[in-house]
Structure 1
Amino acid sequence: MRECPYGDKCYRKNPIHFGEFSHVHLDAIYEKGNGSGSYDIPAKYDSEMILAQLKLLEKLFPKDGAKKEKEENVSGSKPPVTAPVNSGSSSSRPSNNNPSGSSTSRSAPPQDTSNLAKKQKMNAKNIRDYIPVVVEKGGMAKKLERAAPYNMFLTAITDSKPTHSEPLSVTFQEILDESLGEIESTVQINFMVDIGWLLGHYYFSGILDKPLLVLYGDESPEILNISKLKPQVTTVRVRMPTPFATSHSKVMFLGYTDGSMRVVISTANLYEDDWHNRTQGLWISPKLPALPENADTGAGESQTGFKQDLMLYLVEYKISQLQPWIARIRKSDFSAINVFFLGSVPGGHRESAVRGHPWGHARLGALLSKHATPIDDRIPVVCQSSSIGSLGPNVQSWIQQDFVNCLKKDSTPVGKLRQMPAFKMIYPSFGNVSGSHDGMLGGGCLPYGKNTNDKQPWLKEYLQQWKSSDRYRSRAMPHIKSYTRYNLEDQSVYWFVLTSANLSKAAWGCFNKNSNIQPCLRIANYEVGVLFLPRFLTGEDTFPLGNNRDGVPAFPLPYDVPLTPYAPDDKPFLMDYLQG
Structure 2
Amino acid sequence: MAEPPSKRRHSSDTEEDKTAEESSELPASFTHPISPPRKRVAHERKFIPSPIQLTTIWDYADELNVDAVSLHDLLGDPLIAECWEFNYLHDVDFLMNHFDEDTRSLVKVHIVHGFWKKDDLKRLSLEQQSAQYKNVTLHAAYMPEMFGTHHSKMLILFRHDDTAQVIIHTANMISKDWTNMANGIWQTPQLPLLTEAQKPSEADMSIGGGLRFKLDLLNYLKAYNTKRGICKSMVDRLEKYDFSAVRGALIASVPGRHDIHEDDPSKSLWGFAGIKHALRSVPVQPGGSDIVVQISSIATLGQTDTWLKRTLFDSLSPPSKTNSPKPKFKVIFPTPDEIRRSLDGYASGGSIHMKTQSPIQTKQLQYMKPILYHWANDCEDGILEQGNKFEAGRKRAAPHIKTYIRYNEGKTIDWALLTSANISKQAWGEPTKVPGEIRIASWEIGVLMWPELFADKAKMMPIFKSNMPTKESLDDQEDIVGLRMPYSLPLQKYGDDEVPWVATAKYTEPDWKGGVWE
Same-fold call, TM > 0.5?
A: yes
Contact 1:368–1:410 (CA<8 Å) still a contact in 2? no
What is the Cα deviation at residue 425 of structure 1? 0.4
What is the Cα deviation at residue 379 of structure 1? 1.4
* Aligned: 1:438 with 2:335: no
Measured in 1, the distance between the counterparts of 2:270 and 2:72 equals: 32
1:318-329 correspondence runs (5 A): 318=225, 319-329=228-238
What is the Cα deviation at residue 255 of structure 1? 0.6
Contact 1:383–1:424 (CA<8 Å) still a contact in 2? yes
Name the residue aligned to 2:303: 393
* Aligned: 1:558 with 2:486: yes
1:463 corresponds to which of 372, 375, 399: 372
Name the residue aligned to 1:189: 86
What is the Cα deviation at residue 371 of structure 1? 2.5
2:362 corresponds to which of 438, 445, 454: 454
**Which secondary structure state, in structure 2, belongs to the residue aligned with residue 201 of structure 1?**
coil
Name the residue aligned to 1:117: none
Name the residue aligned to 1:13: none
Measured in 1, the distance between the counterparts of 2:495 and 2:353 equals: 22
Structure with max Cα Rg: 1
What is the Cα deviation at residue 275 of structure 1? 0.6
Structure 2 residue identity aligned to 1:166: V
Contact 1:433–1:477 (CA<8 Å) still a contact in 2? yes
Measured in 1, the distance between the counterparts of 2:325 and 2:15 equals: 51
TM-score relative to the length of structure 1:
0.70
Name the residue aligned to 2:12: 133
| Structure 1 residue runs without a partner (length 5+) | 1-47, 53-127
TM-score relative to the length of structure 2:
0.77
* Aligned: 1:310 with 2:213: no
Structure 2 residue identity aligned to 1:407: L
**Which secondary structure state, in structure 2, belongs to the residue aligned with residue 314 of structure 1?**
helix
Name the residue aligned to 1:337: 246
1:288 corresponds to which of 191, 209, 220: 191
Number of equivalenced pairs: 440
**Which secondary structure state, in structure 1, belongs to the residue aligned with residue 483 of structure 2?**
coil
**Which secondary structure state, in structure 2, belongs to the residue aligned with residue 173 of structure 1?**
helix
Measured in 2, the distance between the counterparts of 1:163 and 1:185 equals: 33
Name the residue aligned to 1:151: 51
Contact 1:149–1:538 (CA<8 Å) still a contact in 2? no
1:241-320 correspondence runs (5 A): 241-293=144-196, 295-296=198-199, 302-303=209-210, 305-318=212-225, 319-320=228-229
1:81-160 correspondence runs (5 A): 133-135=12-14, 149-160=49-60
Q: 1:128-171: CA deviations, max 9, x gaps?
A: 99x9523469xxxx9xx99955431111111221466412x110
Name the residue aligned to 2:278: 367
What is the Cα deviation at residue 282 of structure 1? 0.5
Measured in 2, the distance between the counterparts of 1:239 and 1:164 equals: 40
1:33-44 correspondence runs (5 A): none
2:262 corresponds to which of 335, 349, 352: 352
Structure with a larger share of its residues in strand:
2
Name the residue aligned to 1:229: 132
Name the residue aligned to 2:501: 573
Measured in 2, the distance between the counterparts of 1:215 and 1:193 equals: 9
Measured in 2, the distance between the counterparts of 1:229 and 1:430 equals: 40
Measured in 1, the distance between the counterparts of 2:270 and 2:286 equals: 23
Measured in 1, the distance between the counterparts of 2:276 and 2:459 equals: 17
What is the Cα deviation at residue 359 of structure 1? 0.8
Measured in 2, the distance between the counterparts of 1:534 and 1:164 equals: 26
Q: Quick check: 551-560 or 437-446, which moved more?
A: 551-560
**Which secondary structure state, in structure 1, belongs to the residue aligned with residue 482 of structure 2?**
coil
Q: 1:159-185: CA deviations, max 9, x gaps?
A: 221466412x1100001243xx71111
1:507 corresponds to which of 427, 451, 458: 427
Structure 2 residue identity aligned to 1:387: S
Name the residue aligned to 1:484: 405
Q: 1:390-448: CA deviations, max 9, x gaps?
A: 222233x11211111111125417xx6x7543221000011111111112222121022
Structure 1 residue identity aligned to 2:419: T
* Aligned: 1:497 with 2:398: no
Q: 1:510-538: CA deviations, max 9, x gaps?
A: 123x43xx321111110000001221123
| Structure 2 residue runs without a partner (length 5+) | 26-46, 116-121, 378-389, 464-468, 507-516
Greater length-normalized contact order (CA 8 Å, ≥ 6 residues apart): 2
Contact 2:50–2:481 (CA<8 Å) still a contact in 1? no
Contact 2:338–2:375 (CA<8 Å) still a contact in 1? yes
Q: How much identity, in percent, do the aligned residues show?
A: 29
Check 1:498–1:473 CA distance in 2 against 1; reply closer, same or farther (3 A cut).
same
Q: Cα RMSD (Å) of the superposition? A: 3.2
2:104 corresponds to which of 207, 210, 216: 207
**Which secondary structure state, in structure 2, belongs to the residue aligned with residue 320 of structure 1?**
coil
